[in-house]
Amino acid sequence: MSPNQAAIPIPVNETPKDYAPGSPEREDLRRELGRQLAHPVDIPLFIGGREIRTGRTKPVVCPHDHAASLGVFHCGDEAAAELAVRTALAAARDWRRTPWEDRAAIFLKAAELLAGRYRYVLNAATMLGQSKTVFQAEIDAACELTDYLRFNAAFADRIYGDRIPQATGASLTRMEYRPLEGFVFAVTPFNFTAINGNLPTAPAMMGNVVIWKPAGGSVLSAYHIMKILQEAGLPDGVITFFPGLGRDIGPMFFDRPEFAGLHFTGSTGTFNDIWRRVGENLSNGIYRTYPRLVGETGGKGFVLAAPDADAEALAAALFRGAFEYQGQKCSAASRAYMPRSLWAEVRDRLAAMADEAAVGDVADFRTFMGAVIDRGAFDAINGYIRQARDSGKARIVIGGVADDSRGYFIRPAVIETTDPRSKTMEEEIFGPVLTVYVYEDDRFDEILDLVDATSPYALTGSIFARSRSVIRKCLDRLLHAAGNISINDKPTGAVVGRQPFGGARMSGTNDKAGSWLNLIRWTSPRTIKETFVPPVGFDYPHMRG
């Protein structure tokens, strides 16, 4: 270690609090929930340290309580976009020259603020604005985002510490990991507060300036993340907070010559549209450099049970994997393949869980499921349930009851289908809907081909089996079917630093958030060779004689 090199702390995953009755964290969170409900916020854009209010506002509401107003957020416009780009590019000059240890220190401080003083602020905002239960908010907003900040600093340390071999003493060669030339545009989803925080901060940690557009459904928690980063000492202009409607805002940044990269989590269709637009802009000579496009998109997580699977563990994994956070996870268990010999027992266990699980206001800590995010999601999910009911090839064997009188509530729905290529087996639903195809036990090998070929996505999957040879066969045959695959566990719940996350096919570019592989995408390496005694002639020995 050189005298000026910092010792980055060895990261450790943040331990979730349990919020047990009578615990101090339970009372602290309850007070913060009440405070935020009583004090709606007026959420501005943050550009160069200034709060910008355009006057074009959208409401922030509780998905589980239409009557509860959490505030409004201001939408960015063309004038604000011009200011955002100018400010970001001006900040880039100093930020890229800032020693990387100093950059890392800012985000490590943010992690400590989040894990401590602002834990309940961000958890409450996530519960109210995104309708997450206390447990889902804790593992997402408090723990996973803290983990991203801590582990990314260690991953940056690994990258910057990389050394290339030195062949001779006649020259000195070094590698510099430069930020990208221009700005990175971060587009974040409604469903994970941790993703909201990671997508802008990962490129920024590597010396990039970032313009961040959060989803409207998570703008409240995103606002608090931005405030935490400011308190941690993030220089003005390094991350610009720019909420608004994606269809309006995207072109303001994609069509600029300085656009250098995209860090995206969202739908496959939206990512495809962005890719197409970037390709057209390249053809038209708009860009100075090839933009880096990093995207995690849709999913259709599968659970494949072999005939020797443990029915009790299988049912628990299906229920949690399909219905935690209302199934609004790209990793959610959405399609399952069950051997006929196990299905009746598994179905009965799922039905018992569905009867017991509370669906309602997340401020009640006994709640297992809150509401889906908004009216559009509510209608779309119900459309899938109705289509299955009317198809003649499926039946609703559990739940599927919906009620929007107070909030956008849909109870867990389990569909049994006779068509393994049905709509609900192939398309991403993003709601509490699990479709099951029951196969004859002696057709297991055929089912492997079916699992691999059914969906365009390849994000997550689970294999349930006792036999090691069966597990090995599944892993071999399903080589490209999922970027994250679990054995005897649910397909959700990847932990930063332990299970780097991402999928291929139509699930994204598989750049593995939660690992150094993602951070390396936000660098543009430069090799520098210095020759100490350069030759002074043009000829080589073989030319002499």
Active-site residue numbers? 296, 330
Token pair for residue 308? 């020797």
CA 463 to chain centre: 23
Angle at 137 between CA 134 and CA 141, to 5 degrees: 150
If we measure between CA atoms, which residue out of 461, 448, 442, 449 comes closest to residue 504? 461
Nearest to 272 by CA among 252, 290, 250, 288: 250
Q: In what order do the strands lie in the sheet with 41-43?
A: 41-43, 65-74, 57-62
Inter-CA distances, 305 with 364, 431, 455, Å: 34, 22, 17
DSSP string over 489-527: S-S----TTTS-B--EETTB----BTSHHHHHTT-EEEE
C-alpha R_g of the chain = 25
Q: CB of 448 within 8 A of CB of 474? A: yes
Q: How far apart are CA 499 and CA 336, in angstroms?
A: 22
Which single residue is written with the structure tokens 């993030």? 234
C-alpha closest to that of 221 among 137, 298, 150: 137
3-state secondary structure 117-138: CCHHHHHHHHHHHHCCCHHHHH
CA distance 186 to 210: 7
Nearest to 323 by CA among 399, 426, 403: 399
Alpha helices of 358-455 — where are they, by DSSP H? 375-390, 423-426, 444-454
SS3 252: helix
The residues near 304 (Cβ < 8 Å, ≥ 6 apart) are 336, 337, 447, 448, 451, 461, 462, 463, 464, 474, 478
Distance separating alpha carbons of residues 79 and 356, to the nearest angstrom: 52
CB 166 within 8 A of CB 113: no
